[in-house]
Structure 1
Amino acid sequence: MDRIPQELALDILSRLPIPSLVQSKSVCQDWRTLTHDQLLVNKHFKQMVENDPSFILQIMGYSIQNQLYFGDLSSDPNDGNVTMIAKKLTIPPLLNFHLVSSCNGLLLLRATHPSFELYIYNPFTRDYIELPKLSHHDGVRGFGFDPTTKKYKVVEISYKRTTPFTFSHRVVRFGMRRSHQTETSSSLIESEVHILTVGSPTWRNLGCFPFRFMWQKSQVLVNRKLHWRTTTNLIMSFDLATQQFKEVPRPDVITSNSDRRFHELVVLRGCLSAVSFDGNNQELEIWVMKEYAMKDSWVKQFNIGAYVPKIFQSNYQCHSSSNSRFYLPKNCIQVLCLLRNGGILLQYGNKAIVFYDSHCRTFQDIQVTFEGISSCFTAVAHVASLNSTDT
């Protein structure tokens, strides 16, 4: 090892998949020291971002919901079939928890009743920290990195019902873009916003604003901003640096066509994207914002037809992909990611992951193996790293 220039050694190690890189710490003391070098951590993470993401999967079920798995895609060179081998991860000593989100290789975990603590955890270095407690239990959360302060931040939005009054969206709170809609509500829900800078002992209350966010399966972090859709189908962003909310322009199809339903927000290769489907449940559309915050940059990039994975076909009495009467409702489908080859990974009903070839418009069920366990699961795209929870 002494004969290899450090720059070359860093380049070699940065190209290893994360499990191999973690194992390399056992080779010798020099390699162990290198794996803690911030230059290697940053270089490796940059390499991983350019690749297709891996996945963190959580088994669903009361008795086993504290199990996490790391899943990587692999393709059989003979028949081209895609599989995912999910390897069990070591987890913090929590009785039960939910996987909230992933950012830069770190996971935000939330313990379930009765404690409801939040933890940040790196499943490969096995480092974790417990965050200061907050009294609220219900709401939505986001987790991201602020490059201006080089600190991670956690946002929690809880809800409270206020007395009836008339409010106007023209009032700008926390830097929200002005809107010209005025609403009168007999029972208005206000969102109370708290933020924690990781490493700080206390949460800060940023006040309230008159919107309620929809819960989403995975967080949407684009351009250092967290994004949610509201119950009124607005897209709102929260800037981690300025700590301000702002309305983001929507694609026209969401605002002008009542036949299409706004399903979810996702991130596709770094771009904010909106998923919608028509009232007949026959086609799912993915709109991509090519230039952030520019309304005219929204383009419809994908049309995805109806499909039932094999695991559901017996339940739906559907043995042919041409029989459209038994297709799963589109609200059972989650868009996971866009791969480098143009394919899209979709999760169907917490039981199946499907590869959609956008060029050939074909579907392929991906076999997911949990080391011999077959179960319901949730999946979150994850870029594995050696980033420290103390960053």
Structure 2
Amino acid sequence: MDCLPRELVPEILSRLPIPSLVQSKSVCRAWRIFIHDQEFVDKHFKRMIDNDPSFILQIIGNPIQNQLYFGDFSGHPNGGNVMITKKLTIPPLSNFHLVSSCNGLLCLRFTHPSFGLCIYNPFTRDYIELPKIITKNPASHHGSVLGFGLDPTTKKYKVVEVSYKGITCRTLPRRVAISSMRRPPLTAAYASSSIESEVYILTVGSPTWRNLGRFPFHFMWQKSQVLVHDKLHWIYYPDTINATDLIMSFDLANEQFNEVPRPDFISSDRRFRELVLRGCLSAVSSDNEGLEIWVMKEYDVRESWIKEFSIGTYVPRILQPNDQCESSNNSRFYLPKRSIRVLCQLRSGGILLEYRNKALVIYDPHCRIFHDLQVTFAGISTYFRIVVHVASLNWIETT
């Protein structure tokens, strides 16, 4: 490396795969220091982003639930029709489930009884267990949603947890004072909510969580987080009948909530099920005819929402009845609309879809055809969780 021009070294090494770079850290101290340099880590990460996205998969169900796989399309000659997977080393933790991914780092949540959190880089194998939230009455909480992302001002990672507990309408104040929160005025509909949420935030590396307060909104649980413009996003609604789905953002820098304009052009009988990310904030709605994907071309501008894709109904082969003589009108040929999830758009333009945590399908919007995706790891006949992931050399600074 000393024989090469100084500016050429990062250009060469930034093109190497993550496993090769991790191994090269053992060559000598100089290599280790170089590969840990944040400028090089960022350069390599930007190259990874330019490729097709990769994925982290977790098998659902015992006895192999505590296993993660890394999957991408780069290692097979058929390209986008086959996902090659590699078994990953996991941290020495109790049972966990996969929550989200950010900048090559995974957020894992331990299952009962600890319910703790861990941040883990599956390639460098660096991990940190996070402190637990201390509440006055932990038994009162009935569920939560999580968010994980990087504060662009401090370059520190933060984890946000929104916890819920049931309350009566009489105990909910007309106005809720929340530190550092910008939100729409509370209407009568909001004030009649029977759900109260409490927001906690942790700067990774800090010893304790901070309580940001309570508010009368309910965030819809999502299978994957949406991080756009350094803000986390959730679908939320007041706990009232026939309430309209809305979008709330949380700024990781100033720790403020703010409502984001929704795509009003979506008909009233189509509710949001999830948000997806493709460089722009996107929203997915569905009915019995299929899916619509709306994209906000200019962030926080209501008029910039456009309906970019319409995807018809389809049932992957693995989910079809075994008896080929059965009528296509059989209800088993139709999937509940909540069982289909949009994962991402590939460089080819295809849309990657997940069906009922069991099948992956690529939809070609130009030809309007579906391709069942072959995933090459043992256990795909069982159910799995999957998150979009960009592998990186990032690690957590704890000081």
TM-score, length basis structure 1: 0.90
Quote the offset at 1:80 in angstroms: 6.1
Quote the offset at 1:333 in angstroms: 0.7
Deviations 1:288-342 (A, max 9, x none): 0111111001000000011111101126969999999823222111111111221
8 A Cα contact 1:199 1:390, kept in partner: yes
Deviations 1:242-273 (A, max 9, x none): 1111111100134xx232121111111x2111
| Aligned counterpart for 1:140 among listed residues 141, 145, 153 | 145
* Distance 1:306-1:167 versus aligned 2 partners, 3 A rule: farther
State the alpha-carbon separation in 2 of the partners of residues 373 and 266 from structure 1: 24
State the alpha-carbon separation in 2 of the partners of residues 169 and 283 from structure 1: 40
| Aligned counterpart for 2:311 among listed residues 304, 320, 323 | 304
Question: What amino acid maps onto 2:5 in structure 1?
Answer: P
Q: Which runs of 5+ in 1 are unaligned?
A: none
8 A Cα contact 1:313 1:319, kept in partner: no
Quote the offset at 1:173 in angstroms: 6.8
Quote the offset at 1:285 in angstroms: 0.1
TM-score, length basis structure 2: 0.89
* Distance 1:372-1:187 versus aligned 2 partners, 3 A rule: closer
Question: What amino acid maps onto 2:7 in structure 1?
Answer: E
Counterpart residue number, 1:382 = 389
Counterpart residue number, 2:189 = 183
Deviations 1:70-109 (A, max 9, x none): 00114865x6661111111111111210111101110111
Question: What amino acid maps onto 2:82 in structure 1?
Answer: T
Counterpart residue number, 1:274 = 283
Counterpart residue number, 2:3 = 3
Counterpart residue number, 1:264 = 274
**Mapping of residues 120-159 of structure 1, within 5 Å:** 120-135=119-134, 138-159=143-164
Work out whether 1:25 is the aligned partner of 2:25: yes
After superposing the two structures, state which structure 1 stretch, 319-328 or 366-375, moved more: 319-328
* Distance 1:319-1:302 versus aligned 2 partners, 3 A rule: farther
State the alpha-carbon separation in 1 of the partners of residues 310 and 75 from structure 2: 25
Q: Could you say what secondary structure the match of 1:98 adopts?
A: strand
Counterpart residue number, 1:221 = 227
Quote the offset at 1:351 in angstroms: 0.8
Question: What amino acid maps onto 1:273 in structure 2?
Answer: S
Quote the offset at 1:16 in angstroms: 1.9
Question: What amino acid maps onto 2:94 in structure 1?
Answer: L
Counterpart residue number, 2:249 = 237
8 A Cα contact 2:73 2:79, kept in partner: no
**Mapping of residues 44-193 of structure 1, within 5 Å:** 44-74=44-74, 77=77, 82-135=81-134, 138-165=143-170, 174-179=180-185, 181-183=187-189, 188-193=194-199
Q: Percent identity?
A: 68
Question: What amino acid maps onto 2:275 in structure 1?
Answer: L
Counterpart residue number, 2:240 = none
State the alpha-carbon separation in 1 of the partners of residues 206 and 184 from structure 2: 33
Quote the offset at 1:360 in angstroms: 1.1
Quote the offset at 1:369 in angstroms: 1.4
Q: Could you say what secondary structure the match of 2:373 adopts?
A: strand
Deviations 1:8-61 (A, max 9, x none): 111111112223332333555544443222221111011112222110001100
* Distance 1:80-1:38 versus aligned 2 partners, 3 A rule: closer
8 A Cα contact 2:193 2:216, kept in partner: no
Q: Could you say what secondary structure the match of 1:266 adopts?
A: strand
* Distance 1:208-1:3 versus aligned 2 partners, 3 A rule: same
Q: Could you say what secondary structure the match of 1:252 adopts?
A: coil
Quote the offset at 1:375 in angstroms: 2.5
Alignment: residue pair count: 385
Question: What amino acid maps onto 1:51 in structure 2?
Answer: N
* Distance 1:324-1:81 versus aligned 2 partners, 3 A rule: farther
8 A Cα contact 1:265 1:273, kept in partner: yes
Counterpart residue number, 1:208 = 214
State the alpha-carbon separation in 2 of the partners of residues 171 and 207 from structure 1: 8
State the alpha-carbon separation in 2 of the partners of residues 17 and 121 from structure 1: 19
Q: Which runs of 5+ in 2 are unaligned?
A: 238-242
* Distance 1:172-1:129 versus aligned 2 partners, 3 A rule: closer
After superposing the two structures, state which structure 1 stretch, 120-129 or 6-15, moved more: 6-15
State the alpha-carbon separation in 2 of the partners of residues 277 and 261 from structure 1: 7
Q: Could you say what secondary structure the match of 1:23 adopts?
A: helix
8 A Cα contact 1:167 1:184, kept in partner: no
Work out whether 1:368 is the aligned partner of 2:375: yes
8 A Cα contact 1:35 1:41, kept in partner: yes
After superposing the two structures, state which structure 1 stretch, 333-342 or 293-302, moved more: 333-342
Q: Could you say what secondary structure the match of 1:6 adopts?
A: coil
State the alpha-carbon separation in 2 of the partners of residues 318 and 324 from structure 1: 14
Counterpart residue number, 1:40 = 40
State the alpha-carbon separation in 1 of the partners of residues 282 and 339 from structure 2: 18
Question: What amino acid maps onto 2:214 in structure 1?
Answer: C
Q: Could you say what secondary structure the match of 1:311 adopts?
A: helix
State the alpha-carbon separation in 2 of the partners of residues 236 and 319 from structure 1: 45
8 A Cα contact 2:98 2:106, kept in partner: yes
